[in-house]
Amino acid sequence: MLKIFGAPSRYLQGPGAIERLGACAALFGDRAALVIDAYVLELLGARLDAICEAQGVRLHTFPVEGDITPDSVARLCAQAMPTRPPLVIAAGGGKALDAGKALAKAAHCHLVTVPTVASNDAPTSKNYVLYDAGHRLLAVEHMLFNPTMVLVDTALVASAPAAFFRAGLGDAISKKFEAEQCARHGGLNMYEGHATLTAQSIADACYRTLLADGEAALAAAGTGKPTPAFERAVEAMILMSGLGFESGGLSIAHALTRGLPHLPGLASAPHGLQVAVGLLVQLHLEQRSDGALDALHAWYGKVGLPSTLRELGATNVDAAQARQAAALTLKARHAANFDRTLTEAALADALLHYVG
The answer to the question of whether 119 is labelled as a binding residue is yes
Q: With the CA atoms of 18, 21, 23 and 27 taken in that order, what torsion angle do they form, in degrees rounded to the nearest 10?
A: 150
Q: Does 303 appear as a known binding residue? A: no
- For the CA atoms of 213, 214, 219, 223, the dihedral, rounded to the nearest 10 degrees, stands at 90
Strand order in the sheet with 149-152: 10-13, 149-152, 110-115, 87-92, 31-37, 58-64
Any binding-site annotation on 96?
A: yes
Q: Is 131 annotated as a binding residue?
A: yes
Q: Looking at the predicted structure, is the pLDDT value of residue 171 above 80?
A: yes
pLDDT at 116 over 80: yes
Q: Is 118 flagged in the annotation as binding?
A: yes
Is residue 80 annotated as involved in ligand binding? no
On whether 334 is known to bind a ligand per the annotation, the reply is no
Q: What does the longest C-alpha to C-alpha distance in the chain come to?
A: 60
Closest to 66 measured CA to CA, from 37, 86, 40, 109:
37
For the stretch 291-331, pLDDT in tens is 999 999 999 999 999 999 999 999 989 999 999 999 999 99
Q: Which of 147, 93, 111, 94 is closest to 32 using CA atoms?
A: 111
DSSP per-residue codes, 278-302: HHHHHHHHHT--SSHHHHHHHHHHH
Domain 10-158: CATH class, spelled out: alpha beta
Percent of the chain with pLDDT over 70: 100
> Per-residue pLDDT tens for 281-293?
999 999 988 999 9
> Model pTM?
0.95
- Is 72 annotated as belonging to a binding site? no
Beta strand 137-142 with 127-131 is antiparallel
- Looking at domain 251-355, which CATH architecture does it have? Up-down Bundle (1.20)
Q: CA torsion sign, 153 to 40 to 23 to 242?
A: positive
Predicted local distance difference test score (pLDDT) of residue 258: 93
Q: How many CB atoms lie within 10 A of CB 158?
A: 23
37 is in an annotated binding site: yes
Domain boundaries, the chain: 10-158, 251-355
> Length of the chain, please?
356
Find how far residue 275's CA is from the centre of its chain. Answer: 10
CA distance 240 to 11: 11
* 30-82: pLDDT as tens digits: 999 999 999 999 999 999 999 999 999 999 999 999 889 999 999 999 999 99
Whether residue 40 is annotated as binding a ligand: the answer is no
Query: According to the annotation, is 39 in a ligand binding site?
Result: no
d(CA 250, CA 45): 35
Predicted confidence at residue 188, as pLDDT, reads 95
Amino acid (one-letter) located at 262: H
Is 170 annotated as ligand-binding? Answer: no
Residue 314 assigned to a binding site: no
Residue 121 marked in a binding site: yes
